[in-house]
């Protein structure tokens, strides 16, 4: 768990955050143990900004991964940031409620489950015709 959080911390160092000055990094572990990292990439039009978790998830999906074990998220402020609602929903597309989310804690990492962070995720069944 600490290794994954260290990878998220390192990814935050690559963030492009000139507007918020709030660098975030994520490290996503796939079911086969591969690790994908991402950092936030801001845009003057905030709605076009990319979140660290999205960058990591997009890279993993691009490479064919569809099953994930855990993600670690860290900000340069080391303030216990958790994924935002949009990123939580993105994980819910591929992960069940038991998916592990690791974040900074006061002394030790804090572990959450996706289901507790997003108890009523939108599912494919909710939007399909079938």
| Non-local CB neighbours of 127 within 8 Å, separated by 6+ positions | none
Sign of the CA dihedral 115, 117, 123, 127? positive
Per annotation, catalytic residue among 42, 53, 54, 104? 53
Residue 56 zone, left/alpha/beta (φ > 0; ψ -120 to 50; rest): alpha
User: How far is residue 17's CA from residue 25's CA, in Å, rounded to a whole number?
Assistant: 11
Helix, strand and coil in the chain, % to nearest 5? 30, 25, 45
125 is catalytic: no
Residue numbers annotated as active site: 53
């Amino acid at each position: 768990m600490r290794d994954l959080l260290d990878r998220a911390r390192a990814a935050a160092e690559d963030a492009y955050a000139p507007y918020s000055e709030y660098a975030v990094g994520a490290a996503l572990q796939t079911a086969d143990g591969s690790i994908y990292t991402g950092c936030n990439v801001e845009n003057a039009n905030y709605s076009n900004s990319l979140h660290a978790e999205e960058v990591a998830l997009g890279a993993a999906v691009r490479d064919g991964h569809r099953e994930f074990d855990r993600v670690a998220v860290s900000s340069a402020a080391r303030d216990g940031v958790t994924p935002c609602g949009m990123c939580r929903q993105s994980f819910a597309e591929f992960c069940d409620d038991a998916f592990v989310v690791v974040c900074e804690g006061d002394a030790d990492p804090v572990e959450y489950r996706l289901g507790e962070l997003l108890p009523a995720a939108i599912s494919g069944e909710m939007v399909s015709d079938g």
